[in-house]
Amino acid sequence: MGLFVAQILTGLANAAALFLVASGLSLIFGVTRIVNFAHGSLYMLGAYFGITLMNTLPGAFGFWSAILLSGLIIGLIGVIIEICVLRPVYRAPELFQLVATFGVILVIQDLALMIWGAEDRLGPRAPGLKSVVRIMGEPVPQYDLALIAITPFILLGLWWLITKTRIGILVRAATQDREMVGALGVNQSWLFTGVFFLGSALAGLGGAIQLPKGGADLLMDLNIISSVFVVVVIGGMGSIPGAFVASVLISVLNVFGVAYLPQSTLVLMYVVMAVVLLLRPYGLFGREEKAGEHGQAGEPDRPIRPAGLYGRIAVAALLAVLALIPVFSGSFTQVLLTDIIIFCLFAASLQFMLSTGGLVSFGHAAYFGGGAYAAALLVSYSDTPMEIAFMFAPLAAGLLAILFGWFCIRLSGVYFAMLTLAFSQLIWSAAFQWYEVTGGDDGLVNIWPAKWLSGTNAYYYFTLIVGVGGIILLRHLTHAPIGYALRGTRDSARQAEATGINVKLIQWTAFSIAGALAGLAGGLFVFSKGSIFPNELEIAKSFDALIVVFLGGVKTLSGGVVGAGFMEVAKDWLTRLEYWRLILGLVIIGVVIIAPDGIVGTLRKVSERIGLRRTEEFMK
Amino acid sequence: MLEVTSLNSFYSKAHILNDLSFSVGRGEVVALLGRNGAGKTTTMKSVMQLVRPKSGSVVFEGTDITGQPPHRVARLGVGFVPEERRIFTDLTILENLEVGRQKARSDAPVWTPEALFEIFPNLWERRHNRGKAMSGGEQQMLTIARTLMGNPKLLLLDEPSEGIAPVIVEQMAKTILRFKQEGLTVIISEQNLHFAGAVADRAVIIEGGEKKFDGSFSTLEKQPEIRDAYLSV
Amino acid sequence: MNAVLKVSGLNRFFGGIQAVKDVTFEVAPGELKALIGPNGAGKSTCFNMLMGQLPPSSGKVFLNGEEITGKPPRDIWRRGVGRTFQITGTYQSMTVAENVQMALMSHHRRIFAIRPYAYKLYREEAMALLEIVGMADQADRACAILAYGDLKRLELAIALANEPTLLLMDEPTAGMAPKERIRLMQLTADIVRERGVSVLFTEHDMDVVFAHAHHIMVLNRGELIAEGTATEVRNNKKVQEVYLGGGMLFNKEDTHA
């Protein structure tokens, strides 16, 4: 009984930071409709600033003012981000804003590395609250009790701000109908900036207040963001009480999970989220998203045609060069090119559902890593020949996509994206925590290709044929009736339904095809490396794919492939630099603001302008 | 007070307003008349800059407001009451009024919630209720009251009588006449000729986004062929 | 003759408000019928129930004798109903011809075909349909750059792709210039005459309605208040009231009417 109570108390104490960060994210989303992926980064900065300030300011007073000051500083940083990065892209499609916030994550990671170094920092303990209290015989840290006491006041304070002040009334009104608030004389820009300040400050406070229980490290940004998404989605995007209830729920669940089901703590969280979304698609306290609110802005996509004779000759020439690489180049180049081709296939599979289908997935790594793991498990446990295990990769990934897709396509927009994320995290946590089967963090090793493919040359050709084949297949499907129908469902779901097309069925099919081909890439990957680790299933991997599709050009067919190729080469160069994330992040933000058409889209426009290419007003 | 010149507005691709020009003097009540889809709402929204006109200009009290953000137009003293009402259903009536509040102006009537509750007593009874469970008439009153909280000089009322019980419509007419007495300039868009005639000094008839008539109601009455051509069946 | 469309006792409530009250009517083969009424009268609600976008609270809809009440739009389309929308919903990223080809692919159940290039399928048929609406010369233009009137004509071509027995057109001329309106309705009337299709449409532009509709129904506050030929409807007292206002304020003016 005592242990039970103590665990509940730990859970409640853990909920404090989570709630602060989640309520900030929720607030920002409610008003600006931006899912701020960089919110975890603000939390991390809050922790670092907190440590620095706590070490400077003396005593209990110094400790608590350090927390408040961190919140203030992070709030101001949030304002800078809002004004410099997000204001220029408010009118752009959602995806652009997301990608911009990915860029911010990278920039902040390297800035933190520059300022505070790579070493993990242990948080100072709170003066006067360093010992433990015995409750029913179990030790409970005093600071935990302090947090449990403080959290309701934060909730109360937020509640007061939101319900009783003019700012709060405007925020709630804008959450419902931004345009009308503007027509009544409220300057939306400053309201947005204000909300960003508040939301960021809350994240900063969260980062600083958890210091005595944890510390600060460079991974905490992405570590918290997945829990925060879970909380916000369970509670309902935009709902502060929802964020509170869900924070408590998830934190308590985690503590009990650690105690009783140590193998499944992470899985548990995502299972809860998936169940909530299925029963209440907009979260416990969320409101239904009105269609059209998120409409894809910007100019429509161009009509497409299969490549003409010149295009085919160019591709054939490129393939010929790639085929000749082993003749005059070392194994290093081949390994790099193998990586590039695999990544290109992965990106192309995402682009098929994302660009052609308008289905923005945040969890595409599940099918890449899922395919890889499926093959690796077969090899590890049943000595399956490589050829069969390899073919099992796209099959397993495809089946996984059929299963998850069935749930996901019932939702749309941000909620669709969030559910794909939840499922991918589910797979990741299974791989990470189910140690007996997956080897956990140690991964699965010794997954080598069959004899006839074992040389660098042989595997390179294998990858070239299968990878390029997959890309060409996707490209063909885009031009086939199924691809056209998919584009139709994206352009106008209403028109598609009104002309006999089953929109959900088409989307489900596309989801499954994209999953299977990501699995194919995963199969190529696992046998090229000889091993697979859970990091291939991480959020970061899904983000990578999203970013390259975007960099290459969302509104093009070859954007994913070109972006992936560009990114892998650029990474190969950049990673030799110490602060390559900073540069990459700035490039991403720059592309979002200056060249939102991506590499392919921009090249196309430039060549049209200088007359190398006709504008595509007339096809044929 | 308001000078609209050669306005052309589009709704996505549909050309809604076609070289529309008209003006409104201080203290005047002008009715924009026309059938469904004639372009009345788009005219209102173009004045408010909720629809950005492709060409032409809107000048309010000597200031060119074409292309300004809507909040700046509102702050200059233009109040807009949308046809779909768009009340904030998550907010109470009092909170809805708070959203609309702006500073007092020396050259326009000043409104407080108390003064507005006097005009719309139904709202007073439900002031702490959320906007969800309100009838169409109550919603309409709240939308008007919310806009008046901004102490506008010019009030744009888009189809105030639509979907409202006849008794309330009559009440609405009296209210608009009262605004006129207080010194407000009002533009209402209407399909209901009787209602418009009861409150407005002048009629501007729009059809297909073009102005077809601009004159007093007595002139209009003398030209039944115009009325029949553009307003009736 | 048997009615193409038969609607009986259609009701629809939104919360406590009744948007459509006991609407009953028929559309005969080859008939061009208009449904008119002021804003908020329930025309769109009615239309959405006919096409399956919205389930009725009660009442039944029959197409060629078969009940279609509450079926999803795609099923109703397969049974031979073409539809155009008030705000066009064409596929912006495709060419004009491809938009029609898309509907033809669906009609011939080739959506899940994997091998062929979509842009080559049913090209001839699509061109023939575009010819009917006078859009053949623009077949290879991107849909996104079409003028609004052309989009409307394209929508009509798409609506004909499944060889419908009934066309439902929601405000077909909204947003068009007056001259274009007359052309489009003339075109529709020709199609009705030549192909024997029945058409039910809602419309704001009374010139269009009186010039082309064989029969007119008037909806007000969710109820059908009049039905008949152009002259009958025009002379109906109730209809005049609806279109000129409730009449409770300026009764003296009514004497002029």
Mean pLDDT by 10 residues, chain A (620 residues): 85 91 91 88 97 92 95 97 91 81 94 94 87 85 91 89 90 86 91 94 96 91 88 88 92 84 77 84 76 48 85 92 88 92 96 93 96 96 93 97 93 85 90 88 92 91 96 96 95 92 96 98 96 93 91 88 90 86 90 87 84 55
Q: Does C108 touch chain A (CB under 8 A)?
A: no
Task: Give B102 or C177, the one with higher predicted confidence.
Answer: B102
Q: Span C141-170, mean pLDDT?
A: 91
Give the least confident one: A5-14, C1-10, C163-172, C238-247: C238-247
Task: Give B52 or C17, the one with higher predicted confidence.
Answer: B52
DSSP-based three-state secondary structure for A159: helix
Q: What is the secondary structure of C15-60 as a DSSP string?
A: TTEEEEEEEEEEE-TT-EEEEE-STTSSHHHHHHHHTTSS--SEEE
**Per-residue pLDDT in tens (0 to 9) along chain B, 233 residues:** 999 999 998 876 778 898 999 999 999 999 999 877 788 989 999 999 999 999 999 999 999 999 999 999 999 999 999 988 889 988 999 999 999 999 999 888 899 999 999 988 888 888 888 877 677 778 888 999 999 999 999 999 998 877 677 777 888 888 999 999 988 999 999 877 888 888 999 999 998 888 999 999 888 888 888 887 777 65
Nearest residue of chain B to residue A170 (CA atoms): B99
Interface B–C counts its CB contacts (< 8 A) at 84
Query: How far is CA C27 from its chain centroid?
Result: 12
Sequence-distant (6+) residues with CB within 8 A of A433 are A262, A263, A264, A265, A266, A267, A440
Tokens of A113: 């590395």
Spell out which chain B residues touch chain C, with contact meaning CB-CB distance below 8 angstroms: 11-16, 18, 35-38, 159, 162-163, 166, 169-170, 173, 191-198, 208, 221, 224, 231-233
Q: Does A495 touch chain C (CB under 8 A)?
A: yes
CB neighbourhood size of B45 (10 A): 24
- Give the mean pLDDT of chain A: 89
C-beta atoms of C105 and A498 within 8 A: no
Report whether B122 contacts B141 (CB < 8 A): yes
Backbone angles phi, psi at C249, to 5 degrees: -100, -50
Please tell me the distance in Å from C138's CA to the nearest CA on chain A: 9
C-beta atoms of C176 and B14 within 8 A: yes
Nearest residue of chain B to residue A187 (CA atoms): B71
Residue C242, pLDDT score: 75
Residues of A in contact with B48 (CB under 8 A): 183
Q: Does A619 touch chain C (CB under 8 A)?
A: yes
Residue C247 has pLDDT above 60, yes or no: no
Task: Give B173 or C180, the one with higher predicted confidence.
Answer: B173
DSSP-H helix ranges across C160-256 = 178-195, 206-212, 230-234, 237-244, 251-254
C-beta atoms of A484 and C105 within 8 A: yes
Give the least confident one: A295-304, C10-19, C192-201: A295-304
C-beta atoms of A179 and B70 within 8 A: yes
The Cα–Cα gap between C191 and A339 comes to: 59
Residues of B in contact with C243 (CB under 8 A): 191, 231-233
Check for a shared fold between A2-279 and A320-608. yes
What CATH class is the domain A2-279? mainly alpha
Q: In the structure, what pLDDT confidence band is assigned to residue C248 with cuts at 50, 70 and 90? A: very low
The Cα–Cα gap between B129 and B127 comes to: 6
Per-domain residue ranges of chain A: 2-279, 320-608
Chains sharing 3 or more CB pairs under 8 A with chain C: A, B
Which residue in the set A166, A173, A183 is minimally distant from B74, CB to CB? A183
| Residue B194, CA distances (Å) to B41, B136, B203, C250, C251 in order | 19, 20, 12, 6, 8
Interface A–B counts its CB contacts (< 8 A) at 59
Which residue in the set A166, A175, A187 is minimally distant from B71, CB to CB? A187
C-beta atoms of A494 and C85 within 8 A: yes
What CATH class is the domain A320-608? mainly alpha
Residues of C in contact with A483 (CB under 8 A): 118
Please tell me the distance in Å from B50's CA to the nearest CA on chain C: 18
| Residue A295, CA distances (Å) to A91, A289, A298, A547, B82 in order | 10, 12, 9, 21, 22
Q: Does A615 touch chain C (CB under 8 A)?
A: no
Residue A188, pLDDT score: 85
Q: What domains lie within chain C, and their CATH numbers?
A: 1-80+164-225 (3.40.50.300), 91-163 (no CATH)
Instruction: Give ipTM to 2 decimals.
Output: 0.92
Reported for C122-129, long-range contacts at CB under 8 A and 24+ positions apart, including other chains, are C123/C97, C125/C100, C125/C161, C126/C97, C126/C98, C126/C100, C126/C101, C126/C157, C126/C161, C127/C97, C129/C100, C129/C157, C129/C158, C129/C160, C129/C161
Tokens of B144: 């008007």
Report whether A401 contacts A511 (CB < 8 A): yes
Query: How far is CA A392 from its chain centroid?
Result: 27
Please tell me the distance in Å from B177's CA to the nearest CA on chain A: 23
Q: Which residue has the tokens 């139709």?
A: A488
Q: Does A308 touch chain C (CB under 8 A)?
A: no
C-beta atoms of B37 and C205 within 8 A: yes
Q: Does A304 touch chain C (CB under 8 A)?
A: yes
Q: What is the pLDDT of residues C203-238, one digit of tens each?
A: 877 778 888 899 999 998 889 999 999 889 888 888
Which residue in the set B11, B197, B208 is minimally distant from C250, CB to CB? B197
* Cα angle value A435/A437/A443 (rounded, 5°): 65
Chains sharing 3 or more CB pairs under 8 A with chain A: B, C
Residue A313, pLDDT score: 92
Report whether C117 contacts C133 (CB < 8 A): no
Which residue in the set B16, B191, B195 is minimally distant from C39, CB to CB? B191
